[in-house]
Amino acid sequence: MKRLPRILVETVLLSMALLIAIAIVMPGVPAYAEEEKAAPPANDAAPAAAKEEPIPLAGTAGPDNVSVSVVFSTFNRYIFRGYELSTRSMVFQPSVTISWMGFAANVWGNIDTHEQATQSFTPDRPGDASFNEVDTKLSYTRSWGAFSLTGGYVYYGLQYAKKTQEVFVAAALDVITKPVLTVYRDVAGYPGIYYNLAFSHSAPLSMIMKDMTLDLGASFGYEQGTSPFWSTYEAASTSGGIDAYTGKKYSAFHDGMLMVGVTIPIVNNLTVQPVAMYTFPLSHDASRMVNGVSYNPNGALDQNFVYGLNLTYNF
């Protein structure tokens, strides 16, 4: 708990510096933002809450104008699908998304200010700062009334592990709670399938400030390993041999996430969102240890509290 005040001070100072810099290059903008399209989640573990959007016309592929969303996020740790990929360190996560007629291209990065090992993470620069991940996502979305379907590709440019690639498809309903079911298929470094069901809702807080919203979110994942990489850990007494990752492939209800945030308009098209998330394992297998070693070859999941800020500019 002794680190908490320092982290909060650093987060606030960084956000203020960014806001001042943006204000300098954008003089004369109005004091409040108009309703804008929200940025997509930076990653599965740290989604920015989506705002309410108009239901698209049947069969449309999105507006024909180009839109750009720039997001700068800072958090007290990096959690991806329940795995702890940083600890006792602030992370900075810049992201840029360009969208046009249903097509979207996104580049997302992770900067760890002080890399330290966890069950799921081996630092490439132990004890130092590292720009250790750059992911690229390409997607296309088609909508029919309240239903939309997205297909895409993700390249994970990792410095701390084997680089890998995924293809995915997501089905969404533009109704209350905005359910989204996404299926990811790893086709390179770690062959397997990850299923994620996510919900989100934003409620206006106009009694406090125009265009301010309370943002709620939740997601639940299922991991299904399909390659020898996902072999689970067996004790010698069970396997009849030695302690090793020789068991059945890992397959389990995996990770859960609960989120609350507040989106606050700063200037036209610019918002800041303080956010807090709680991540947790969904099953015994997800958190299981065998003789002090993780049953899951990627590391056992634990409960984590994540907090930070998303700074978003749309144009």
Residue 223 has pLDDT above 50, yes or no: yes
Residue 309 parent element (H or E) = strand 304-314
Cβ contacts of 16 within 8 Å, gap of 6 or more: none
Mean pLDDT value of segment 168-184: 97
Find how far residue 78's CA is from the centre of its chain. 9
CB 164 within 8 A of CB 186: yes
Burial of 183 (0-12, 13-18, 19+ CB in 10 A): middle
Please state, as a whole number, how many other Cβ atoms lie within 10 Å of the Cβ of residue 94: 18
pLDDT at site 45: 36
Residue 11 has pLDDT above 90, yes or no: no
Domain membership of residue 100 as a residue range: 4-314
The predicted-structure confidence for 107-121, as pLDDT tens digits, reads as follows 999 999 999 999 999
Distance in angstroms (rounded) separating the CA atoms of residues 88 and 277: 16
Mean pLDDT of the chain: 84
Highest mean pLDDT among 12-21, 25-34, 227-236, 239-248: 227-236
Tokens of 221: 């994942």
Domain count, the chain: 1
Tokens of 213: 């919203």
Q: What is the residue type of 42?
A: A
Q: Comparing 211 with 286, which gets the higher pLDDT?
A: 286
Residue 31 has pLDDT above 60, yes or no: no
pLDDT at site 193: 98
Distance in angstroms (rounded) separating the CA atoms of residues 19 and 129: 24
Query: What is the Cβ-side half-sphere exposure of residue 130, based on CA atoms within 13 angstroms?
Result: 17
Distance in angstroms (rounded) separating the CA atoms of residues 270 and 266: 6
The predicted-structure confidence for 243-301, as pLDDT tens digits, reads as follows 899 999 999 999 999 999 999 999 989 999 999 999 999 999 999 999 999 999 999 99
Q: Where are the beta strands (DSSP E) in the chain?
A: 67-75, 79-80, 83-84, 91-100, 103-112, 130-144, 147-158, 164-173, 180-186, 192-204, 213-225, 251-267, 270-281, 289-290, 293-294, 304-314
Residue 52 has pLDDT above 80, yes or no: no
Mean pLDDT value of segment 295-314: 97
pLDDT at site 274: 98
pLDDT at site 69: 97
Question: Would you place residue 242 in the very low, low, confident or very high pLDDT band (cuts 50, 70, 90)?
Answer: confident
CB 73 within 8 A of CB 95: yes
Tokens of 119: 């069950």
Q: Is 248 helix (H, G, I), strand (E, B) or coil?
A: coil
Question: Looking at residue 99, which CATH number applies to its domain?
Answer: 2.40.160.40
Distance in angstroms (rounded) separating the CA atoms of residues 130 and 109: 11
Percent of the chain with pLDDT over 70: 78
The predicted-structure confidence for 58-110, as pLDDT tens digits, reads as follows 455 656 789 999 999 999 999 999 999 999 999 999 999 999 999 999 999 99
pLDDT at site 60: 53
Question: Would you place residue 184 in the very low, low, confident or very high pLDDT band (cuts 50, 70, 90)?
Answer: very high
CB 159 within 8 A of CB 135: no
